[in-house]
A and B are shown apart, each in its own frame.
Chain A
Amino acid sequence: MDPSEVEFLAEKETVKVIPNFSLDKIYLIGGDLGPFNPGLPVDVPVWLALNLKQRQKCRIVPPEWMDADKLEEIREQERKEDAFSPVPSCHYMELTKLLLNHAADDIPRADEIRTLVKDIWDTRIAKLRLSADRFVGQQEAHARLDNLTLMEINTTRDFLLDSLNSMHKLRANLQPGKSQDY
């Protein structure tokens, strides 16, 4: 899977916007949106929010977790614990990038948020690598991937699956005669 596909999926998440135009409710296959009234916040998917923003038809209200103080807390939590701690949104990386790139003027302390999210990401990737190594070292058969996000899984998927396949075959050598079906 390509990262841009993951980003595409993330665009389905909803975000609050404050429109500066009025429009009746619109009916889409994915659900009904609106009605839009100037000054009244309304929930829309990210793809629409970005489109409206680019045409200067709205102001985006950043999600609750996209706040430097809260992210700092999450970062500390992530560094303290060995296991993956819960993330504020299962598309945090994609949303941060999308919103900060297109609507940085609506988000206070945008640069700090960018650094914090990158820190959180790096910590989690390091943990992911550590646990992958432990997983292979102990020759485990299954693992729980609690609290991992799609983007994180996606960066290491090809490598990890190929390695585990090879390891499985090498391990099947230990019991000659048994079939290698899996």
Chain B
Amino acid sequence: MDTRSYMPVPPGVGTEENVFSLDDILLSQERLPCRTESVFPGLGFVDKSSDSRHIPEGTKMEIPLWLAKGLYERKRRVISVELPRVYREGWRTVFGADANVVDLHTMGPYYYGLGSQMLHFDSPENSEIAQCVLQTFIGRFRRTMDSSQNAYNEDTSVLVEKLDCLERALFRAGQSGLNAFQLWEKGLASHLTASSLVTNYRKRKLADLQA
């Protein structure tokens, strides 16, 4: 049984983000390829590659998700957001063929979260993206489940290597269930153990304190 000193807030996964979720905070830093649709006066210093004082219309740049969400408006075109590579037609075909072979950790690592967030920007392909993300999850579910519930007492780093952050959290949940059961079956669950805080505690020496 693993007990934690605090309860982490789970990621929102859907179109809503959880303010207190660390995963969602990291997700909001993901860079999106964008194109400016109007002049950004006086902000030329942001774009290091140009010398002009302003950011002209039609500049291509990468901006983080949180900024893109703030700037994007349907009526007033300030920026237009392009789809990252993994959500485009070509990759969608790959996911459709066999989602299991894709290394979602290097592609993502927030494939599902970012995919849901992309739906904020009105793209004609939105419904295909949502469908593809869902199908990918379903396609990879079996492998995540089997590997998390069968790997007992072995190195799991190879198994989780290709998993997205969301799948890793699921993997951990499966492992904790398996470990708790195995511990019970071996009869170790009934043993009381000293808290790690107590075993690591050593008396401080006076010399250390004065140094």
Contacts and interface: CB of A to CB of B under 8 A. Distances in A.
Interface of A: 2-4, 7, 97, 101, 129, 132-133, 136-137, 139, 151, 154-159, 162-163, 165-167, 169-174, 176, 180
A118 to B, nearest CB: 9
B86 to A, nearest CB: 15
A158 B173 contact: yes
Given A2-B1, A166-B112, A129 B138 contact: no
Given A169-B13, A173-B14, 13 more contacts: A2-B1, A3-B183, A4-B184, A97-B185, A129-B145, A129-B146, A137-B141, A156-B149, A158-B177, A159-B145, A159-B149, A167-B134, A176-B130
Interface residues of B, number: 42
28 contacts: A3-B183, A4-B190, A7-B184, A129-B145, A137-B138, A151-B181, A155-B180, A156-B177, A158-B176, A159-B145, A159-B148, A159-B149, A159-B173, A162-B10, A162-B169, A165-B13, A166-B170, A169-B14, A169-B116, A170-B116, A170-B134, A171-B134, A173-B14, A173-B115, A173-B130, A174-B127, A174-B130, A176-B119
A133 B141 contact: yes
B149 A173 contact: no
B36 interface: no
B181 A3 contact: yes
Contacts of B1: 2
Given A129-B145, A133-B142, A170-B134, A162 B112 contact: no
A170 B134 CA distance: 6
Nearest to B175: A159
A157 B180 CA distance: 12
Contact of A159 (B14, B119, B127, B174): B174
B126 A172 contact: no
Kindly list the 9 A-B residue pairs having the minimum CB-CB distance in the complex, ordered from nearest.
Answer: A3-B184, A169-B14, A159-B174, A173-B130, A158-B173, A169-B13, A170-B134, A4-B189, A133-B142
B177 A154 contact: yes
B141 A163 contact: yes
A172 B141 contact: no
A110 B138 CA distance: 42
B21 interface: no
Interface string B100-130: 0000000000001001100100000011001
Contacts of B126: 176
B98 interface: no
Interface in B172-201: 173-174, 176-178, 180-181, 183-185, 187, 189-190
A133 B138 CA distance: 9
A170 B13 contact: yes
Contact of B133 (A155, A162, A170): A170
Given A3-B183, A159-B170, A136 B14 contact: no
B131 interface: yes
A67 B23 CA distance: 52
Contact of A173 (B15, B177, B187): B15
B63 interface: no
Given A3-B183, A7-B184, A166-B170, A157 B177 contact: yes
B141 A136 contact: yes
Nearest to B130: A173
Contacts of A162: 10, 169-170, 173
